[in-house]
């Protein structure tokens, strides 16, 4: 497939018919300094699409937008890096809203439509954090029965006004560039760049009763009350306030719809 609109907004676009993982490929390419910020890699099919914590992202060939965008952050505040997946989720949310949908951001890395996952984001950095690839998958033209899990939806299922993948990818990269450059101008301060307030107002998680599962296997239940200045989810349990920087969140009131 050709991506004329996306080509015109990225600093270089590589569109592959098939690969293992666009994140993995772009992390390798980023090691040579030839690839500038906003260089983008997209594919029709991934045989080893990555989610967080060794989970998989699954999509049939040609059914989705799957892409990774390169940035080389040099924020004065290191907390800026923590915002990059939420930033991409906001770029996706706002592009989907223009297609007539009412998407929300589920902390830390999902975009939901009517409580179901239409998109997932995975930001991965190289060792010294000098290059970060922000990858995302968006379900576009799958019918309900073609989706890999029953917690998922697609643009087709949700009734979006367009299924044009090039136009969508171009819009998302444009939105992401705008948000990123605002954050850079603010020295990595997500409050000053208004990134945090945009994410808060689109959050499906803040205000919810949540169960947080931590990477070490422990759990906590409480109310999600805020996203702090570092992008951490603030959760009030019966005994204390937790600031969660990594973990999985289950929205308990709508748990039947989620994984
Ligand atoms: C994510 O992980 O949601 C991040 C997904 C990022 C995928 C993109 S595609 C381009 C780039 N290159 C890569 O290799 N990856 C990125 P996580 O929050 O861990 O969610 C993973 C879970 O989502 C799985 O365990 C499934 O339950 C579910 N899932 C898998 N495929 C899905 C799909 N197409 N739609 C909705 N949910 C899906």
* pLDDT (0 to 100) of residue 257: 46
Same domain, 11 and 77: yes
List the strands of the sheet with 209-213, edge to edge: 241-244, 233-236, 219-227, 209-213, 248-251
φ, ψ for residue 119 (rounded to 5)? -155, 145
* pLDDT (0 to 100) of residue 32: 85
Q: Give residue 246's domain range.
A: 204-252
Same domain, 172 and 229: no
Q: What CATH number does the domain containing 214 carry? A: 2.30.30.100
Same domain, 183 and 215: no
Overall domain count for the chain: 2
Within 6 A (CB) of ligand 1 lie 21-23, 46, 49-53, 55-59, 66, 68, 109-110, 117, 120-122, 135-137, 139, 148-149, 152, 259
Q: What CATH number does the domain containing 54 carry? A: 3.30.930.10
86 CA distance to ligand 1 centroid (A)?
A: 15
137 CA distance to ligand 1 centroid (A)?
A: 7
Instruction: Average the pLDDT over 197-205 and give the result.
Output: 97
CB neighbourhood size of 26 (10 A):
24
Average of per-residue pLDDT values in the chain? 94
Same domain, 208 and 109: no
Do the domain assignments include residue 258? no
Same domain, 113 and 47: yes
Do the domain assignments include residue 259? no
Instruction: Average the pLDDT over 233-241 and give the result.
Output: 97
Same domain, 220 and 97: no
239 CA distance to ligand 1 centroid (A)?
A: 33
Do the domain assignments include residue 182? yes
Bridge partners of residue 144, in order along the sequence:
none
Looking at 182, 199, 216, the residue that finishes a domain is 199
* pLDDT (0 to 100) of residue 74: 86
Mutation to probe ligand 1, out of 105, 119, 120 (largest number of atoms < 8 A from CB): 120
* pLDDT (0 to 100) of residue 255: 63
Band of pLDDT at residue 250, cut at 50, 70 and 90: very high
Same domain, 146 and 103: yes
Same domain, 182 and 108: yes
Looking at 158, 177, 199, the residue that finishes a domain is 199
107 CA distance to ligand 1 centroid (A)?
A: 14
Same domain, 74 and 183: yes
Do the domain assignments include residue 59? yes
Dihedral sign from CA coordinates of 113, 89, 64, 96: positive
Same domain, 151 and 216: no
Same domain, 137 and 237: no
* Cβ within 8 Å of residue 61, ≥6 positions away: 18, 44, 45
Q: Which atom belonging to ligand 1 lies closest to the Cα atom of 23?
A: 12
Same domain, 170 and 230: no
Query: 14-57, pLDDT tens digit by residue?
Result: 999 999 999 999 999 999 888 999 999 999 999 999 999 889 99
pLDDT at 71 over 80: yes
* pLDDT (0 to 100) of residue 76: 67
Band of pLDDT at residue 259, cut at 50, 70 and 90: very low
């Amino acid at each position: 497939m050709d991506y004329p609109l996306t080509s015109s907004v990225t600093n270089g676009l590589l569109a592959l018919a098939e690969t293992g993982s666009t994140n993995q490929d772009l992390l390798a390419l980023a090691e040579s300094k030839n690839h500038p910020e906003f260089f983008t890699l997209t594919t029709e099919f991934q045989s080893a699409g990555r989610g967080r914590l060794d989970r998989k992202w699954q999509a049939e060939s040609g059914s989705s937008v799957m892409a990774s965008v390169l940035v080389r952050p040099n924020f004065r505040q290191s907390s800026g890096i923590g915002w990059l997946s939420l930033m991409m989720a906001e770029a996706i949310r706002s592009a989907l809203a223009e297609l007539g949908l009412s998407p929300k951001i589920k902390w830390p890395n999902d975009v939901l439509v009517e409580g179901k996952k239409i998109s997932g984001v995975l930001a991965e950095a190289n060792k010294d954090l000098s290059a970060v690839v922000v990858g995302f998958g968006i379900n576009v033209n799958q019918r309900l029965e073609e989706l890999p899990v029953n917690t998922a939806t697609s643009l087709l299922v949700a009734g979006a006004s367009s299924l044009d993948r090039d136009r969508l990818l171009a819009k998302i990269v444009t939105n992401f560039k705008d948000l990123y450059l605002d954050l850079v101008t603010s020295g990595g301060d997500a409050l000053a760049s208004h990134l945090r307030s945009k994410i808060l107002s689109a959050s499906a998680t803040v205000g919810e009763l949540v169960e947080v599962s931590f990477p070490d296997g422990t759990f906590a239940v409480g109310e999600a009350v805020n996203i702090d200045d570092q992008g951490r989810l603030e959760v009030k349990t019966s005994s204390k306030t937790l600031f969660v920087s990594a973990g999985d969140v289950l929205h308990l009131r709508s748990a039947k719809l989620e994984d």
